[in-house]
Amino acid sequence: MISKDRVRVKEIGKGKEELTQLAMNLDYGVGISRSLRNKINVAFSVEEEKREPSRGVMSEAYRELIAPIEGDIRDARDLIIVPYGALHRVPFAAIRDGKGYLSDRWNISFIPSLSTFMYIGGQGGKSRSVLGMANSVPDTDPLEFAEPEVRDISRYFRKRKVYVGKYAREKIFKGEAPGYDVIHLAVHGLFSDLQPLDSGLVLRGGGGEDGILRISEVFGIDLTGAELVVLSACESGLGVVRPGDEMVALSRAFLYAGTPSLIASLWKVDDRATKLFMDAFYENWKGKGMSKAEALSIAQRKLRSTPGYESPAYWACLLYTSDAADELDGVDLGGRRI
């Protein structure tokens, strides 16, 4: 645990394989890859892959991951989590303490690793313009609520450009994205745990582009002028953890490209639920002036109170990568200062 005043380390009782198993038990979608499951010799049927974690599993996660440090964070308002290994896949907002969810007690945000502190923070407070793209896939698999989503959130910005359908082109995105404070992409996502650099977002092709905005291509886009990127797409927050806990993920690529904060999803998202969530998030953030972390937490609670969307499967998949690195500015990590 790191705060302005101190750094404390507490060791938990579970080893790497046990934590991996716990992460899989917490999975609400099909986000935990088959290759990861095979590494620890665990086989799941299709029905089991789609099951909802029990309250017992959520309580176990609380006992193992949160209870050991609860005394240190009890009075905090914001909780910034830096996951390790399989914990990158854990929907922390949905962990239960016996009385309620963690997202009821804290505004939860994430940082992929301490090494990313140098890439995030310091660009907040602008958000005057937005570039939105939606429903880029031809008639085969349209997202019914994607276009209304980007049009509705765009009204909060003085300068706005929205491309939908055949106009949501990869070439346009690469050319125009560097000029906007907020980028909102309500499109299909593709995740490959075997070839993670080929994971990406589905846009329209043309002009020399194939229509897949891959991780490898995002690294080459200058987003240092952006404040927030929203990847309103399936599995946009998933990645493959490499040695050293460096995660190869679409979300990480956008951070390295320059955006200081990002919203992405851990598993396959429900189209209408995501629209409702984004409506609430932008209303809280832009309409009411809340911080992005608080706006996200309240949006999660609002969606949870909507009939039919009570399950964390609908609201806990959306993760906010924090731009609050300055919260730890000056903290001494054993001779190294953040």
User: Rounded to two decimals, what is the model's pTM?
Assistant: 0.82
User: Which residues are CB-contacts of 214 (< 8 A; sequence separation ≥ 6)?
Assistant: 197, 198, 199, 200
- Contact call for residues 255 and 262 (beta carbons, < 8 A): yes
User: Which residues are CB-contacts of 10 (< 8 A; sequence separation ≥ 6)?
Assistant: 1, 68, 69
pLDDT digits (tens, 9 = 90+) for 180-221: 999 999 988 776 666 667 778 889 999 999 998 988 899 899
- Tell me the pLDDT band of 38, cut-offs 50, 70 and 90: very low
Give the pLDDT confidence score for residue 175 in this predicted structure: 96
* Strands (E) located in 34-181: 78-81, 107-110, 129-134, 159-164
Mean pLDDT of all residues in 321-332: 52
Q: Which residues of 245-269 are buried (b: 16+ CB within 10 A; e: fewer)?
A: bebbbbbbbbbebbbbbbbbbbbbb
pLDDT digits (tens, 9 = 90+) for 268-288: 777 888 899 999 999 999 999
Amino acid code (one letter) for 129: S
- Under DSSP, the state recorded for 165 is G
Mean pLDDT of all residues in 48-72: 73
Interior CA angle at 10 toward 5 and 14, to 5°?
155
- Contact call for residues 29 and 266 (beta carbons, < 8 A): yes
Which conformational region is residue 235 in: left (phi greater than 0), alpha (psi within -120 to 50 degrees), or beta?
A: left
- Which residue reads 């923070």 in tokens? 121
User: Which residues are CB-contacts of 292 (< 8 A; sequence separation ≥ 6)?
Assistant: 109, 228, 261, 285, 320, 323
Edge to edge, what strands does the sheet with 228-231 contain? 78-81, 107-110, 318-321, 262-265, 228-231, 182-186, 129-134, 159-164
- Per cent of the chain over pLDDT 70 is 71
Give the pLDDT confidence score for residue 252 in this predicted structure: 79
Give the pLDDT confidence score for residue 55 in this predicted structure: 66
Is 80 exceeded by the pLDDT of residue 152?
A: yes
Q: Among the listed ranges 108-112, 210-214, 219-223, 334-338, which one has the minimum average pLDDT value?
A: 334-338
